[in-house]
Amino acid sequence: MKPRKLNIKTIPAQDVNRAYRFWRDVFDLPQSGHASGRHLMIDGDDIIFVAGEPTDQLEMLIRDHQDELKQHLRNNFIPIVGKPEPRFGNKIAFKIHDSEGNLITLEANQ
């Protein structure tokens, strides 16, 4: 998967280690050089995992086309929530849950 942008860089988690592994493995995010704690990076910014209740406000822009994205999600046993919705500019949005119950909208190319 080729994630490009994420609207919120602080991710709520019940289990920070589990959230870190999920985001690293499913979204193929690299580790940050940040010395304290477990941080990943997207578009040059750190992603930080903090204790908190799940949110439904996360949106990620993906460079992949929808068929590649669907295959990647299947390979990682991540079900799509609801029906995909068309977006402006030949984009399509899929919703998934992460390991912590956060609802993430993934916007990919059609």
pLDDT at position 39: 82
The CATH number of the structural domain formed by 1-107 is: 3.10.180.10
pLDDT at 8 over 60: yes
Q: Which tokens belong to 40?
A: 């990943």
Per-residue pLDDT band for 32 (boundaries 50, 70, 90) equals confident
How far is residue 55 from each of residues 1, 4, 63, measured CA to CA in Å? Answer: 22, 20, 23
Q: Which tokens belong to 71?
A: 């295959």
pLDDT tens figures, 37-82: 678 999 889 999 999 999 999 999 999 999 999 999 999 999 999 9
Which residue is listed with tokens 């750190």? 46
Q: What is the mean pLDDT of residues 81-85?
A: 95
How far is residue 18 from each of residues 13, 23, 66, 70, 90, measured CA to CA in Å? Answer: 8, 9, 26, 22, 34
pLDDT at position 63: 93
